[in-house]
Amino acid sequence: MESKEQWKSELRQWVEGGQLRQATFSQLRSKEGGAPAKTVIRPIELKGALHYQFQYYIDNKVTHENIPQPEAAERIASWLEQHYKQALFKTNDADVQILFSKKGKASVVTKPATAKQDTESLTHNRQKQRVVQEGEAAPFMVELGIMTKDGQVIAKKQDKFRQINRFLEMVTDVLPHLPADRELTIVDFGCGKSYLTFALYHLLAVKQQRRISVVGLDLKADVIAFCSELAHKLGYDNLKFQVGDISQYKDQSSVDMVVTLHACDTATDAALVKAVEWGASVILSVPCCQHELFRQIRNDAMAPLLSHGLLKERFSALATDAIRAQLLEVVGYRTQLLEFIDPEHTPKNMLIRAVRASGGSAETERKWREYLVFRDMLQVTPYLEKALGERLPQG
């Protein structure tokens, strides 16, 4: 048993000393008080100052409140006493469980620490400064059902929220490669419901006040109608959507950025060819359903791998994206293959990010020779090589 003053004093020391890593409150004293079923508290850094973030779990929603460090100890103690029977505090030195009796007396059990962290790892666990911050409502996210009107992320949309921010981080990284002295032209091939198209417009046109013109292209007329209506509702005047096929699209003579997300099989290649023809400064592509090479690959030495359909499918997808990245290098791009967070938890989470570069002829020849060795080893004739045609050294 422990007095109220004693555990509160220890709590104050944990908070003021920056030792509290997490607190979890559960088992409501009363279900009629309207308190959340669970509250989780973590340290975060906001604008260079330590705060403690309260995460409130109510039904299927999670809301947040950030409390400055000087006020946190008193708030944590009062919130626990008012609403909960049980708490688990994780500190640098120990895990401390507090159980309250019906009369409000505290019973404390202390165990070895499971959340001991150094200063560096604490910094990594502090709230990430995302492009779109929770608590600041982005109109497009509200309309698409990701956020509430007060800026809280809906629990079931947390994965989509993270995916959008991951995409915007990747866009932010390549902004120095885009022209800064004129209007940017951006095309999104296979835009679908356009979560990321709207996010891109929000970042560049709304937050950064850049002059841009964005076109979203998709084969589904009902999806395009939905996106067009939403763009009009949001006042995104320079964001247009139209029905069309990637390979047949000819409405632009030059484009600065090409985005293609989950365009199926060689539709991704068709988008890459368009980007190269336009001389796009930036290409962002998340390939999907890479079936082309699956039907072509032949190599007796790789029989233990290729004889298993599942392994052959995965290898074919990796080989396809390796070929795409290498051919983009050959025609003058610097490429990276990055992990892209997919909200549906599928393996289709590889993003090819390419920026226009000035490579010398010797470097081009080396990349081309590497490609030929790889291609011939697999005995394949990739669509992308044929479509790039005269832009490749053999052309």
Half-sphere exposure (CA, 13 Å, Cβ side) for 53? 17
pLDDT band at 30 (very low <50, low <70, confident <90, very high): confident
- What pLDDT, on the 0 to 100 scale, is given for residue 226? 93
List CB contacts of 86: < 8 A, sequence separation 6 or more.
25, 26, 27, 97, 98, 99, 100
Report residue 127's pLDDT band, with 50, 70 and 90 as the boundaries. Answer: very low
- β-pairing, 282-288 vs 350-356, is antiparallel
Please determine, for residue 60, whether its predicted confidence score (pLDDT) is greater than 80.
Answer: no
Res 343 pLDDT > 50? no
- Which residue carries 């809301």 as its tokens? 63
Mean pLDDT calculated for residue range 213-220: 91
Poorest-pLDDT segment among 23-27, 196-200, 207-211, 361-365? 361-365
Strands (E), the chain: 20-28, 38-46, 49-58, 61-68, 84-91, 94-100, 106-112, 184-189, 212-218, 239-243, 257-264, 282-288, 333-339, 350-356
Largest CA distance in the chain: 85
Q: Which residue has the higher pLDDT, 121 or 297?
A: 297
pLDDT tier at 376, thresholds 50, 70, 90: very high
Residue 344 has pLDDT above 60, yes or no: no
Q: What is the pLDDT of residue 255?
A: 92
How many Å apart are CA 194 and CA 196, to the nearest integer? 5
**Mean pLDDT over the full length of the chain:** 86
* Residue 129: per-residue pLDDT: 58
Mean pLDDT, residues 251-270 taken together: 85
**CB distance 131 to 165 below 8 Å:** yes
- Nearest residue to 212 (alpha-carbon basis) of 246, 243, 237: 237
pLDDT at 118 over 60: no
Q: Which one is predicted more confidently, 136 or 222?
A: 222
Rg (CA), the chain: 27
Strand partners of residue 39: 25, 56
Average pLDDT over residues 382-388: 94
Of 121 and 292, more confident: 292
State percent of the chain over pLDDT 90.
Answer: 46
Looking at residue 368, its pLDDT comes to: 93
Full set of structural domains in the chain with CATH: 4-125 (no CATH), 139-391 (3.40.50.150)
Residue 288: the pLDDT is: 80
Answer with the residue of higher pLDDT: 4 or 309. 309
Segment 345-371, tens digit of pLDDT: 445 578 899 998 865 677 888 999 999
- Burial class of residue 39 (count of CB atoms within 10 Å of its CB; 0-12, 13-18, 19+): buried
The arithmetic mean of pLDDT across residues 176-205, rounded, is 89
At residue 77, does pLDDT exceed 80?
yes
Read off the amino acid at residue 159: D
Please say if the pLDDT value at position 123 is more than 60. Answer: no
* Residues 313, 294: Cα–Cα separation, whole Å: 6
Token representation of residue 223: 């999806």
Residue 125: the pLDDT is 42
Whole-model pTM over 0.85: no
Confidence (pLDDT) at 113: 84
Is the pLDDT assigned to residue 317 strictly greater than 50?
Answer: yes
Is 253 in a helix, a strand, or coil? coil
Dist CA 285 CA 261 (whole Å) = 6
Instruction: Please tell me the distance from the alpha carbon of residue 49 to that of residue 41, in angstroms, as a whole number.
Output: 16
Contacts for 322 with CB less than 8 Å, ≥ 6 apart: 337, 374
Q: What is the DSSP string of 297-309?
A: ---GGGHHHHTSH
Extract the tokens encoding 233. 């509702």
pLDDT score, position 208: 87
User: What is the pLDDT, as a whole number, of residue 122?
Assistant: 42
**Count of alpha carbons within 13 angstroms of residue 230, beta-carbon side:** 22
Residue 124 clears pLDDT 50, i.e. is over it: no
| pLDDT exceeds 50 at position 9 | yes
321: left (phi over 0), alpha (psi -120 to 50) or beta: alpha
Beta pairing class for 350-356 and 333-339: antiparallel
pLDDT at position 119: 43
